Amino acid sequence: MKQKSSDNSSQHVGWLNGRLSHKALVALIALACLSGLLMFHFFLSYLSTYADNAYNKILSDSQKDTQQAAAFLHDCDGNFTALKNYTLTHKISCEVWDSRGKLLFEYHPLKEEKNFLLSNSSKVTLNSGTTLTIRTWSIPIKEHEVSDSIRHSAIIGLFVLNICIFAIAAVLLYLLVLAPIVNLRRTFKEYYEQGALPERSSRQDEIGKLQNTFVDMVNVLENEEQAERTLIASVSHDIKTPLTSVMGFTERLLSADLTPEKRATYLQNIYDKALAIKGIVDEFDEYLDTGVHSSSPMCLISMNDFCRAVKKEYQDELSDAGVQFTVECICPSEQLRCNYGHMTRFLGNLIGNSIQHAHAEPLKLHLKCSRENDQIILSFSDNGQGVPPEIMKKIFQPFFTTDRGRKVSGLGLTICENIIHAHGGTVNAWNILSGGLMVQARLPCAKL
């Protein structure tokens, strides 16, 4: 499969690598600060400018009313009756003084009004040369008009402010959440449609962890697919040879005129090949069976009873075969939660592996059971030639074998590892300095 380069352009931009919750918190704080800046600077500045302009207009209108009244007084040449009609028509209050400060005219129809009254004065020179001072009081804007005007302007300003904040929040949401999710979805799609393998993300947030989890899952699937291909190739290789022999012998039995001795030889060969095929199938059944963890019932057993049962099961048979098998238990009172059938299969595979590969005469096998902290340690060793260092790390791999003629050899140790993992433990192997192989399993000690 081809490799895919993830589009992680924002992964190397400082705090964008942080957790999504941290980024959301930083984004909210930044948005609150920006909102406050817009509110206290731009919005209040906008309202202040509007109020200044409105106030200047009110003053301008008030001065205009006074100038118009002064122009009328000049045109009517000081006719106060006409001035009264003018003030009544234009809804203004008015007073007129002469140059000595004597009040000549007074009319205040607005004194009971509950509105804003502004006062302005102006000099008027009549045709006779007399100079008068006229002062007017006008209503440049009504009270409800002031509040309505400010409310209207505030609504416009808040609308623009909210649009700006929404736009900023939308950009942050897209950069922090939507864009990474879109890229992650594209990664998923390219994998299942094109087979493009995803790359790990350097992001430390939830989205980066999700992508890395997906990468791990893909690796598991790829390894399982590779294992399946190896399994099929192994089955094909290991069954093909004895099956070909079975077919050949069977064909000769059916077509050739054989002596009874020859026929018996062919039948024996067919039976032997059939046993070989059965052995291969049984080995795979055992491998698959130990991989099913949930179907393995567990029970408590003391290490003393476990060691006695193991010794009873194997010692007589091994002794008849000339193999020395000793069991040492230094933690007899400790208890282990296990599937006893699987654990005997674990030890049986180790014993069979030593018998096949140790090449020692006489062969000596030793099982030691001990406790270290909260773990039960099963140490199995032989006195053979050990394992070459270059293949030590491969002996637990499925289908690994040093026999080039067979691809399926070596499942025994893989089965051992599966059994120990199913019990929540770990298994390791190393060569003993004095000679031989040590396989050590560490299992959790049962808590009472």
Q: How far apart are CA 70 and CA 106, in angstroms?
A: 14
Query: Dihedral angle at the C-alpha atoms of 381, 312, 415, 338, nearest 10 degrees?
Result: -110
CA distances from 78 to 105, 148, 385 (A): 10, 40, 136
- Residues 264-286, mean pLDDT to the nearest whole number: 79
DSSP letters for 207-269: HHHHHHHHHHHHHHHHHHHHHHHHHHHHHHHHHHHHHHHHHHHHHHHHHS---HHHHHHHHHH
Query: Is there a domain that residue 294 lies in?
Result: no
Confidence band (pLDDT; 50, 70, 90) for 15? very low
Mean pLDDT of 201-210: 76
Q: Are residues 305 and 278 in the same domain?
A: no
Residues 270 and 153 placed together within one structural domain of the fold = no
pLDDT at 419 over 70: yes
The residue type at 43: F
Q: What is the pLDDT of residue 376?
A: 93
**Same-domain status, 179 and 217:** no
Render pLDDT for 277-320 as a digit per residue (tens, 0 to 9): 777 777 666 666 655 444 567 889 999 999 999 998 888 888 88
Q: What is the pLDDT of residue 382?
A: 92
Point out the domain boundary residue: 152, 182, 199: 199
Identify the top-confidence range among 5-9, 11-15, 111-115, 297-301: 297-301
Mean pLDDT confidence for 395-408: 58
**What's the pTM value of the predicted model, to 2 decimals?**
0.46
Please state the length of the chain. 448
pLDDT, average across residues 204-230: 78
Answer yes or no: do 145 and 18 share one domain.
Answer: yes
**In terms of pLDDT, which residue wins out, 268 or 21?**
268
**Which residue, among 421, 392, 17, 414, has the nearest Cα to 212 in the 3D structure?**
17
- Note the pLDDT tens digit of each residue in 88-121: 888 888 899 988 889 999 888 776 555 667 788 8
Residues 101 and 148 in one domain: yes
Same domain as 106, residue 63: yes
Which pLDDT value is given to residue 40? Answer: 66
Tens of pLDDT, residues 38-77 = 666 676 777 777 777 877 887 888 888 889 989 998 889 8
pLDDT at residue 289, rounded to an integer = 63
Look at residue 296 in the predicted model and tell me its pLDDT.
Answer: 61
* CATH code for the domain in which residue 252 is found: 1.10.287.130
Instruction: Please tell me the predicted confidence (pLDDT) of residue 29.
Output: 75
Q: Is residue 119 part of a domain?
A: yes
Residues 319 and 411 in one domain: yes
Q: Does the pLDDT at position 208 exceed 60? A: yes
Q: What is the pLDDT of residues 172-189, one digit of tens each?
A: 777 777 787 888 888 888
Hey, what are 110's tokens?
């607005």
Residue 349 has pLDDT above 50, yes or no: yes
With respect to residue 39, please indicate whether it lies within any of the assigned structural domains. yes
Within a domain: residue 97?
Answer: yes
State residue 39's pLDDT score: 67
Give the tokens for residue 377. Answer: 């340690």
| Contact call for residues 91 and 139 (beta carbons, < 8 A) | yes
Cα gap 357→446, rounded to integer Å: 34
Average pLDDT score, the chain: 79
Q: Verify that 99 and 175 share a domain, yes or no.
A: yes
What separation, in Å, do the N-terminal and C-terminal C-alpha atoms of the chain show?
51
Could you list the residue range(s) of the whole structural domain that residue 263 is in? Answer: 206-289
198 burial (CB, 10 Å; 0-12 / 13-18 / 19+) is: buried
- 292 half-sphere exposure, CB direction, 13 A CA radius: 8
Name residue, tokens 């609150």: 32
Q: Does residue 432 share a domain with residue 342?
A: yes
Q: What mean pLDDT comes out for the span 115-131?
A: 83
> Can you give the pLDDT at residue 235?
64
| Beta pairing partners, 92 | none
Segment 243-257 mean pLDDT: 82
369 against 252, higher pLDDT: 369
Structural domain count of the chain:
3
pLDDT given at position 370: 94
Same-domain pairing of 218 and 345 = no
Shared domain for 171 and 31, answered yes or no, is yes
Query: Is the pLDDT confidence value at 327 over 80?
Result: yes
Instruction: Single out the residue in 261, 289, 317 at which a domain terminates.
Output: 289
User: Which of the given ranges, 15-24, 191-200, 202-211, 364-373, has the highest pLDDT on average?
Assistant: 364-373
Q: Are residues 305 and 329 in the same domain?
A: yes
- Identify the domain boundary among 157, 176, 199: 199
Residue 439: per-residue pLDDT: 92
The answer, yes or no, to whether residue 7 has pLDDT greater than 50, is: no
369 pLDDT tier (thresholds 50, 70, 90): very high
pLDDT at position 409 over 60: no
Query: Residue range 431-439: average pLDDT?
Result: 89
CATH of the domain at 354: 3.30.565.10
- Residue 330 is predicted with a pLDDT of 93
Rg of the Cα atoms in the chain: 50
Residues 40-50: pLDDT tens digits? 667 677 777 77
